[in-house]
Amino acid sequence: MPDGVATQVDCGSKLFLALPDDVLALVSTYLRPLDLCALALCCRGLRAAVASSEKAWLAQCRRLGPPAHALPLWREGVRSYRALCRFLAAVAPLLGVWVHQNPELGNVVSVLWGFLSVVGVRIIPQELGPLGLDAGPLLWAPVFEILADADGAPSCFFLHGRGDHGEDCLYPGSVQSIDPSCNILLLEVDVRHKDPALPPGTLHLPCSQIFSAVSDRKDPTLGRKLRWSDSSNTISSPSAAPPSPPSIPFSRLPFSDRRRLLDQVAGRVRLEIPLDLATAPLFDRSPPCDDAKLLARRWSELVNMHKQISGGRIDRKAAELAPGLIEHAATTNGDVISHHQITVSGKRKALVSVAAYLRDGFKQFMSRSNSSKVAGLISRNGNSWASAQKKHAQLHQFLMSGDAVGLSLRATHMRLTAYRAWPDMHDNWFALYKLPMQVPSACHEHAGLWAGTFGWPPGQPSEDKPGKALFFLLLSYEEVEGRPLLIATKILEGTHYVLHPNGSAMFIAKLDETSSDAFPWETDSEPLQVEVEQSYSGEGIASGYGFRYPGSKPGSLFVLQNGLLAFVWKESRSVLTLQRIDLQELLKRGERVPMLPPVANFSYLTKSYSNVFAGILSNSNCSY
Checking phi first, is residue 573 left (phi over 0); if not, alpha (psi -120 to 50) or beta? Answer: left
**Residue 108 in contact with residue 491, Cβ under 8 Å?**
yes
Distance, CA of 456 to CA of 520 (rounded, Å)? 9
DSSP reduced 3-state for 361: helix
Distance, CA of 498 to CA of 469 (rounded, Å)? 11
Helices 54-63, 21-28: inter-axial angle, 10-degree rounding: 20
Collect all residues with Cβ–Cβ distance below 8 Å to 196 and sequence separation of at least 6: none
List, for residues 429-475, the tens digit of each pLDDT value.
Answer: 999 999 999 999 988 999 999 999 998 877 665 555 667 889 999 99
Q: Residue 486: which of 456, 519, 444 has the closest Cα?
A: 444
CA dihedral 321, 325, 329, 331 (to 10 degrees): -60
**Residue 354 in contact with residue 320, Cβ under 8 Å?**
yes
Distance, CA of 173 to CA of 312 (rounded, Å)? 5
More confidently predicted of 557 and 402: 557
453 DSSP β-pair partners: 577
List, for residues 515-561, the tens digit of each pLDDT value.
Answer: 988 888 765 555 566 788 999 999 999 988 878 888 999 999 999 98
Q: Residue 489: which of 474, 499, 479 has the closest Cα?
A: 474
Q: Residue 214: which of 354, 6, 39, 455 has the closest Cα?
A: 39
Using CB atoms within 10 Å of the CB of residue 460, give its burial: 0 to 12 exposed, 13 to 18 middle, 19+ buried. middle
Q: Distance of alpha carbon 428 from its chain centroid, rounded?
A: 17
Task: Count the helix, strand and coil residues of the chain and give each as a percent rounded to the nearest 5.
Answer: 30, 25, 40
Q: Model pTM?
A: 0.79
* Continuous segment of H or E residues that includes residue 130: none
Distance, CA of 468 to CA of 460 (rounded, Å)? 9
List, for residues 322-359, the tens digit of each pLDDT value.
Answer: 444 434 333 333 332 333 333 333 433 434 444 444 44
List, for residues 486-511, the tens digit of each pLDDT value.
Answer: 999 999 998 888 888 899 999 999 99
Q: Residue 502: which of 483, 489, 484, 513 has the closest Cα?
A: 489
List, for residues 148-190, the tens digit of each pLDDT value.
Answer: 999 999 999 999 999 888 889 999 999 999 999 999 999 999 9
380 DSSP β-pair partners: 383
Q: What is the pLDDT of residue 493?
A: 92
Neighbours of 603 (CB within 10 A): 22
Neighbours of 352 (CB within 10 A): 16
Q: Where are the alpha helices (DSSP H) in 346-412?
A: 347-369, 371-378, 385-389, 395-399
Collect all residues with Cβ–Cβ distance below 8 Å to 500 and sequence separation of at least 6: 490, 493, 506, 541, 550
Neighbours of 11 (CB within 10 A): 10
